C-alpha cells in the first residue's frame, strides 16, 4: 500500500467540529457508544479518514457501520482490542465528506464487559462544522427498535448481534426522510412493566433517566453509564415510544418468581383467551407512569406511542393509558399511532420485522411526524 504520510491524529476531544449521536458521557475520552445508533459524525475534507476504536465483550460482540454522504458504505463485526478502521481512502481532497460511524448493536444488559469506545480520528483533511438538523427525534423501544431481524435470512433464529442493526431501521429511515437527528433507547425483550418473560426488572422506564443505566458492571460505570442523563442538553422535538410488544408476549409465558423475595409476577389471560383485567390495568398504569416521567424530562416534546409492528393486541390498553394521561394531566401533545403489523411479505430474521416492515412503518411515521412537526 502506498502510505499516506499526511495523516494527523485527533482524539475526540481535539476535534474542532463533530456531532456525537446518542446518549453518552461527553466528559469521557475515549468516548463510549452505549446505545445502538450512537456514533460520531464529522464533515471532513481530505483524501483519507481513519477511526480508532477500543472494543471488548465477553459474549456479544459489537458491530459498527459507516455512512458517507448519507449512504451506507460498510458494516462489520468488531473484535476485542484497539483497532484502526479506514473509513475512506483516495477521495477528492477538497470535497467535504459527511461521515457518520455508528454502533449497530443495542446496549447489552446481559454482557457487562461489552463496550465500544471511539479513541480518535486520523485524516489528511480538515474538519468543518456539522450543522444542527431541523429536528431531533428520540425512539424508545424493544427488539424492534434494536433492529432485530433487519439483517439475516428469514428463518434464522439465534439471538446474536449480527442480526441487529441501527442501519436498516425505521428510526433511521424516518430521520433521513425528515432530515432529523435521532437517538435510540432500546432493549430486546423488555417492556413497559415487564419483559417477554414476565420479569418486572426488564422494564425500560426504570432506566430512562440515566445515560445508559442498563449497561452495568464496573467498566460501564466508569464510562458514565449510570450517571443521570443531562436532559437539558438534548431536548427532542418528538419522542416515539414503541413499547408494549413484550408486555403482550408475557401473557403467554410462565410466571416469573423473584429469586430473592419469592414474589410472583405474571400477565394472565382469562380462560376464554382474553386478557385478564388486573394484568391489563397494571399495564395501563405503567403506560401512564412512563408518560408522566417522559413529560417531566421533556416538557415540550410531542410524545407518540407508536405500536403494532409485531401485533395489535395491546392497542386498546395503550390507547386507554395514553388517553388517561392526556386527560388527567391535560397534556395535548401526546398521541397514539398504530404502525402496520409485520406480514409474511415483510418479515425478517428471528420472526422480527424485516427491512420492508421497517420501511412501511417509517412511511406511516414520517407522514405523521411531517403533519405535526
Q: Where on the chain is the footprint of a copy of itself (CB under 8 A)?
A: 1-2, 56-61, 63, 68-77, 79-80, 85-86, 88-92, 95, 151-153, 155-158, 160, 162, 272-274, 277, 308, 312, 315-317, 319-320, 322-323, 326-327, 332, 335-338, 340-341, 343, 349, 364, 367-368, 371
Q: Which one, 128 or 312, has the nearer CB to a copy of itself? A: 312
Q: Which one, 72 or 297, has the nearer CB to a copy of itself? A: 72
Tally of CB atoms within 10 A around 254 = 9
Grid cell at residue 250? 408475557
372 — phi, psi (to 5°)?
A: -115, -20
Minimum CB distance to a copy of itself, residue 85 (Å): 8
Minimum CB distance to a copy of itself, residue 324 (Å): 8
End-to-end CA distance of the chain: 50
Minimum CB distance to a copy of itself, residue 137 (Å): 18
DSSP string, 95-144: SPEEEEEEE-S---TT-TT-EEEEEEEEESS-EE--PPPSEEEEEEESTT
Q: Give which of 94, 87, 120, 89 is closest to 10, Cα–Cα.
A: 120
Minimum CB distance to a copy of itself, residue 248 (Å): 14
Q: Which one, 15 or 364, has the nearer CB to a copy of itself? A: 364
DSSP string, 61-87: --EEEEEETTEEEEEEE--SEEEEEEE
Q: Which one, 9 or 343, has the nearer CB to a copy of itself? A: 343
Alpha helices in 304-353 (DSSP H): 315-328
Q: Which one, 91 or 297, has the nearer CB to a copy of itself? A: 91
Q: Which one, 74 or 266, has the nearer CB to a copy of itself? A: 74
Cα radius of gyration (the chain): 21
The SS3 call for residue 199 is coil
Alpha helices in the chain (DSSP H): 170-178, 217-222, 245-250, 277-297, 315-328, 355-372
Minimum CB distance to a copy of itself, residue 152 (Å): 5
Residues in the chain: 373
Q: Cβ distance 309 to 144 under 8 Å?
A: yes
Strands 39-44, 180-186: parallel, antiparallel or unpaired by DSSP? unpaired
Minimum CB distance to a copy of itself, residue 207 (Å): 25
Q: Give which of 71, 36, 30, 27 is closest to 54, Cα–Cα.
A: 30
Q: Which one, 225 or 349, has the nearer CB to a copy of itself? A: 349
Minimum CB distance to a copy of itself, residue 145 (Å): 19
Q: Which one, 139 or 151, has the nearer CB to a copy of itself? A: 151
Minimum CB distance to a copy of itself, residue 229 (Å): 29
Amino acid at each position: 500500500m502506498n502510505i499516506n504520510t499526511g495523516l494527523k491524529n485527533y482524539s475526540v476531544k481535539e476535534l474542532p467540529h463533530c456531532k456525537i449521536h446518542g446518549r453518552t458521557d461527553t466528559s469521557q475520552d475515549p468516548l463510549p457508544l452505549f446505545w445502538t445508533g450512537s456514533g460520531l459524525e464529522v464533515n471532513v475534507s481530505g483524501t483519507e479518514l481513519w477511526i480508532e476504536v477500543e472494543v471488548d465483550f465477553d459474549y456479544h460482540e459489537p458491530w459498527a457501520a459507516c455512512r458517507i454522504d448519507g449512504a451506507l458504505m460498510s458494516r462489520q463485526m468488531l473484535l476485542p482490542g484497539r483497532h484502526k478502521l479506514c473509513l475512506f481512502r483516495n477521495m477528492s481532497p477538497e470535497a467535504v465528506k459527511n461521515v457518520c460511524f455508528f454502533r449497530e448493536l443495542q446496549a447489552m444488559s446481559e454482557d457487562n464487559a461489552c463496550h465500544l469506545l471511539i479513541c480518535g480520528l486520523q485524516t489528511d483533511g480538515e474538519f468543518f462544522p456539522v450543522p444542527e438538523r431541523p429536528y431531533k427525534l428520540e425512539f424508545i423501544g424493544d427488539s424492534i427498535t434494536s433492529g432485530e431481524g433487519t439483517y439475516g435470512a428469514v428463518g434464522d433464529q439465534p439471538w446474536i448481534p449480527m442480526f441487529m442493526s441501527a442501519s436498516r431501521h425505521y428510526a433511521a429511515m424516518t430521520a433521513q426522510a425528515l432530515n432529523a437527528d435521532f437517538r435510540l433507547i432500546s432493549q430486546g425483550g423488555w417492556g413497559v412493566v415487564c419483559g417477554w418473560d414476565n420479569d418486572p426488572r426488564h422494564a425500560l422506564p426504570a432506566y430512562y433517566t440515566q445515560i445508559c443505566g442498563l449497561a452495568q458492571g464496573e467498566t460501564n460505570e466508569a464510562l458514565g453509564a449510570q450517571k443521570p442523563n443531562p436532559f437539558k442538553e438534548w431536548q427532542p422535538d418528538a419522542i416515539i415510544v414503541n413499547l408494549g410488544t413484550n408486555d403482550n408476549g408475557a401473557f403467554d409465558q410462565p410466571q416469573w418468581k423473584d429469586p430473592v423475595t419469592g414474589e410472583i409476577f405474571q400477565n394472565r389471560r382469562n380462560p376464554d383467551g382474553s386478557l385478564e383485567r388486573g394484568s391489563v390495568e397494571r399495564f395501563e398504569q405503567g403506560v401512564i407512569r412512563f408518560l408522566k416521567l417522559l413529560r417531566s424530562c421533556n416538557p415540550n416534546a410531542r410524545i407518540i406511542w407508536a405500536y403494532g409492528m409485531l401485533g395489535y393486541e395491546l392497542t386498546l390498553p395503550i390507547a386507554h393509558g395514553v388517553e388517561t394521561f392526556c386527560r388527567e394531566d391535560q397534556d395535548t401533545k401526546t398521541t397514539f399511532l398504530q404502525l402496520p403489523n409485520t406480514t409474511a411479505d415483510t418479515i425478517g430474521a428471528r420472526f422480527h420485522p424485516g427491512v420492508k416492515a421497517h420501511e412501511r412503518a417509517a412511511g406511516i411515521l414520517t407522514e405523521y411526524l411531517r403533519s405535526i412537526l
